[in-house]
Amino acid sequence: MSIPQYLRQISLKIGNDTEAIDLSELRIRFSVRRGTISTPNTADIRVYNVSAATARKAQLKEFGRVVLMAGYAGNYGVIFDGTIKQVRRGRESQTDTYLDITAADGDSAYNWSVINMSLAAGSTAQDHLKSAVQAMEGRGVTMGDSGVLSTNKLPRGKVMFGLTRDVLDNLGRTQDVSWSIQDGKMTLIPNTAYLPGDAIVVNYQTGMVGLPEQTQNGVNVRMLLNPSVKIGRLLKLNNSSIQQVRYDPNVLAEADVVKQKIQNDFNTDGMYKVLIADHYGDIRGNEWYTDVICISVDATLTNESMIRAGVGLPGAIQVPGTVKPYG
């Protein structure tokens, strides 16, 4: 069932839980970039005609957190929760001034969190993840969504030291997961799975703008701003509405074309996993969109069939096959 997409809503608050500046009644423009990669999500927010006193207050360290919510009546939620990196004041015209806010999500933990810990023999991947998150908690990152990691126990002790993100990168490679920080939460999504929950139906009745387009990087689709679209969630598209990519007819490019077809093929049931979800809009302008890049997944696989195949994770993209090192 579709939710009517009208009556825009927005909320912008700067500060902590005890004291905050509410700028929701002013004109706000924003551009939020979110992805499955570990590089922190970012946001650029412009607020018009802020008083000088409020602008100075927004630059204080204790008001470093920024929470942006947007959407429509009935479909409204957080699209960015992070910390302010820079505040700039300027004038757009003779009558309008602006306050520009550049913010990042979890960048302090990403750039500066270090780990110095040793675990006894018998530790598992879940123990390594827990230790990494504990090292980041002092910089505002807590545990969020995570799939079931391997329960294999190491026969010897494990030493973890250096930047925490390097430990997580190594964990991602060994466990075949993508880690990222989403609204201050450590999020791990298996590369062969997606977040649980019903697929979000995207068509002309639910706010799709234009037609989806297949590219070398995935399927691009634009819709009216939808805060329910999260990294790793499922979208349901109508394959007949997707504009197909043109492959290179050069015989020398055949290997690249084959790889593109394998990596970016259509799903028979129209199920696609969100890799990138960018939100941008103007509460008093025309822009109010969510741009998504997604890839095909097989949502018909059941837990039982995957456990038999040795995956053990709900929502696998495909059952693992034999390794073919020579193609």
Q: Which helix (H) or strand (E) holds 69?
A: strand 65-72
Q: Is the pLDDT of residue 309 over 70?
A: no
Q: Are 310 and 320 in contact (CB under 8 A)?
A: yes
Position 298 scores a pLDDT of: 72
DSSP state of 109: H
Lowest mean pLDDT among 124-128, 209-213, 293-297, 313-317: 313-317
Dig out the tokens for 167 from the structure: 């430990």
Nearest to 68 by CA among 53, 47, 85: 47
The pLDDT confidence band at residue 310, using thresholds 50, 70 and 90, is very low
**Topology of domain 8-105, CATH:** Phage tail proteins - horseshoe like beta roll fold (2.30.300)
Scan for tokens 């997580």, then name that residue.
168
Amino acid at 192: T
Distance of CA 86 to CAs 13, 35, 62, 235, 252, Å?
Answer: 16, 22, 14, 34, 48
Position 238 scores a pLDDT of: 92
Tell me the C-alpha distance between 204 and 223, whole Å.
9
**Domain covering 200-309 in this structure, CATH number:** 2.40.30
